[in-house]
Amino acid sequence: MAATPADVKELPEAYVFVLDMPWLSADQVRVDVEEDGRTLVVSGERKREKERDQGIRYVWMERRLGKYLKRFPMPENANVEKVAARYKDGVLTVTVVKKPPEEPKKPKTVEVQVA
Amino acid sequence: MAATPADVKELPEAYVFVLDMPWLSADQVRVDVEEDGRTLVVSGERKREKERDQGIRYVWMERRLGKYLKRFPMPENANVEKVAARYKDGVLTVTVVKKPPEEPKKPKTVEVQVA
């Protein structure tokens, strides 16, 4: 199982999920929103880089590779229609925009009919 | 302390040290060979990315940042004059070329002087 430590940040207009994922390419990472519309899922597989050279001997293997899956429950006001993902320098950043706050419900006055 | 898991590989002509170091820039990593000429040292500091936005609240902090130091003893035949370091997609790769094998010592025949 590959290690994918994450930070979660809340900004005034968005939620931001930051994951350490060194040495990935676009086909090794997948970002989904589950059917419930409330869960962000980051998954994929981190494979050992292809070795061009022959005759390689591993003296030490400490980097954790393999499959990974990370699920983030999203707050009520997350707009799952507006999700953006960016990968740079080994770090994946997923931004989910917040929905604008709902209009406060105005008190409703019932008109009294005089019979 | 930042996490910097490493692989060490031996190739026919070189030793290769591979370290996971997501989200670094060139000024946050340093590669040295110690005075003894036998120890490779990778060190630096991983800082949290500068936040442009105001009003950020961290909901979750799992990514390990801070200082790091990793020392690799090098084999006798490592040529410390030929060290190359490359940083790409969050991974630092340091290559140390091997010295050519020494000429095998020929047996020496002592001439016997006849008195």
> How confident is the model over A91-103, as pLDDT tens digits?
899 999 999 887 7
Report pLDDT for A16. Answer: 94
Structure tokens at B8: 């060490």
Let me know if residue B37 belongs to a domain: yes
Q: Flag whether pLDDT at B53 surpasses 60.
A: no
Beginning with the edge strand found earlier in the chain, give each strand of the sheet holding B6-10 in spatial order: A57-61, B6-10, B14-20, B91-98, B78-88
Do the domain assignments include residue B103?
A: no
Number of other CB atoms surrounding residue A22 within 10 Å:
25
Whether residue A106 lies inside any domain: the answer is no
| pLDDT reported for residue B26 | 66
- What is the number of domains present in chain B? 1
pLDDT reported for residue B17: 94
CA-nearest residue to A22 within chain B is B90
Whether the per-residue pLDDT at B69 is higher than 70: the answer is: yes
Query: Where does the pLDDT of residue B39 fall: very low under 50, low under 70, confident under 90, or very high at 90 and above?
Result: very high
Tell me the mean pLDDT in the region A71-95: 90
Q: What is the pLDDT of residue A52?
A: 61
What Rg do the C-alpha atoms of chain B give, in angstroms? 22
Q: How confident is the model at residue B32 (pLDDT cuts 50, 70, 90)?
A: very high
pLDDT of residue A84: 93
Q: Could you tell me the CATH number of the domain that includes residue B85?
A: 2.60.40.790
Among the partner residues B24, B55, B60, nearest to A11 by beta-carbon distance: B55
Contacts of A1 in chain B (CB under 8 A): none
Residue B93 placed within a domain: yes
CA distance A9 to chain B (A): 4
Kindly report which listed range (A3-7, A53-57, B104-108) carries the lowest average pLDDT score.
A53-57
Which of A11, A19, A20, A88 is the best mutation test for B, with the most CBs of B within 10 A? A20
Domain extent at residue B35: 6-49+58-98
At A15 the pLDDT is 94
pLDDT at A102: 79
Output the CA–CA distances (angstroms, integers) from residue B53 to A17, A80, B56, in the order listed: 15, 22, 7
Whether the per-residue pLDDT at A37 is higher than 90: the answer is no
- Domain presence at residue A21: yes
φ/ψ (deg, to 5) at B69: -155, 125
pLDDT classification of B19: cutoffs 50, 70, 90: very high
Residue B108 lies in a domain: no
**Distance to chain A for B112, nearest Cα, Å:** 47
Residue A30 lies inside a defined structural domain of this protein: yes
Residue of B nearest to A18 (CA): B63
Least confident among A9-23, A31-45, B37-51, B77-91: B37-51
Query: Is A11 inside any structural domain?
Result: yes
